[in-house]
Amino acid sequence: MRISVIGCGYLGAVHAAAMASIGHEVIGIDVDVRKIEALAEGRAPIFEPGLPELLVSAVASGALRFSTDIAETAGSDVHFVTVGTPQLAGAHGADLRFVHAVFASLHPHLRNGDIVAGKSTVPVGTAADLADAVHETGATLVWNPEFLREGWAVQDTVTPDRIVVGVPAGPAGERAADVLRRVYHPALAADTPYIVTDYATAELVKVSANAFLATKISFINAMAEIAEATGADVTQLADALGHDSRIGRRFLGAGIGFGGGCLPKDIRAFAARAEELGLRDSVAFLREVDAINLRRRARAVQLVLEETGGSVVGRRVAVLGAAFKPFSDDVRDSPALDVAVRLHGLGASVIVTDPQAVPNARALHPQLSYTTSRDEALRDADVLVVVTEWDEYRRQMSPEDVAALTDGRIVIDGRNCLDAARWRAAGWRYRGLGRP
């Protein structure tokens, strides 16, 4: 099928390459000239495992091309809208300017029978507001939310765990659902669940999933606060809870909390939308979820202060990690960078390292010092703060080897990913979050 993908950021670039890899003819559209030039050369604008190879192959085969001209979408059977919906400046709601701009620019190029598939994360009710303008052209609007995990986005697109399609009632909706079945035919052939529902439910699936995951993470971080006050070990608590099949161990890792371009802004936008609907009390818990999450960043800084006698002025602090999670170069709302910035503000000499995210981090916070070399960051450090659980920190970093590089023997484990007993046995003062 002929497919257009409008918006070639993180979601769009992955979706375009993945759709081409499963046999579709794809045109990717974006207003950013430099981004389009890079993509047209097969260069990924983000770090995402598997994406460079997919891009190079698809571009070389001719199945995937890119343009800044929205008119080149004309003739596509399905138009995927994949632009971002960032948090509004000075407010908690979602900024839908880019979504509305795409629909306005796409409108003249739609034809009878086309499918417009929204994938952007939007407040419930957005699709219904957009539908009339799409339907007056003879095209049909569907809402097809994404469920990508950064670091696993290619896999999650090609072999998703479910596909949700929100369609209008009636024959047009039934036909649209059938067209999307053809788009995702390889996944459906592998028995991926295909859920056809209404617009509002499809929109809610995405934000509800993110709200649930954020709540689970903040729950275990709340338990970490209790553990710290009582001498309990939150990692053992999480292990015990995880054996309950109703709960599960995933997303029960206590630490400095979640960040990135999805969970923080999505739960805030969800709460803002509920208030607009007069349902503030229904999601009031999300305010506390957000507050718990932010408190853990402050707690990591507090642990550094406790271990340095109350002051970090003039102390060299090695911050291991800048991305909000491993296998990503995304520093949006990164807890790791937040901790680094707070320590810098308290007078510490902060050196930040990360295998992939240093350029993005430097662009966002140029006041900090950076290196891509872990050992360079560790050299002569008074304190180590592990804030992103890259393998080269959690598995490939020996306390004995690090001791040969550093002046201090203090390690703050912001992700509870190190072997506490081993580090203590090697002579380190180890502090984790929610661990005795």
Pair of tokens at residue 312: 């970090």
The contacts of residue 309 (CB under 8 Å, 6+ apart) are none
Q: Token match 């800048």: residue? A: 322
Amino acid letter for position 216: K
* Residue 201: exposure state from Cβ atoms within 10 A (0-12, 13-18, ≥19): middle
Q: Is 8 a catalytic residue?
A: no
The answer to whether 76 and 64 are in contact (CB under 8 A) is no
Closest to 430 (Cα-Cα) out of 388, 368, 392, 384? 384
The answer to whether 255 and 385 are in contact (CB under 8 A) is no
Cα 114–Cα 111–Cα 77 angle in degrees, nearest 5: 30
H/E stretch holding 214: helix 199-230
- Name beta bridge partners: 316: 349
Give the phi and the psi of residue 27 in degrees, each rounded to 5.
-120, 125
Q: Identify the active-site residue in 262, 343, 358, 368.
A: 262
Q: Which residues are designated catalytic?
A: 262
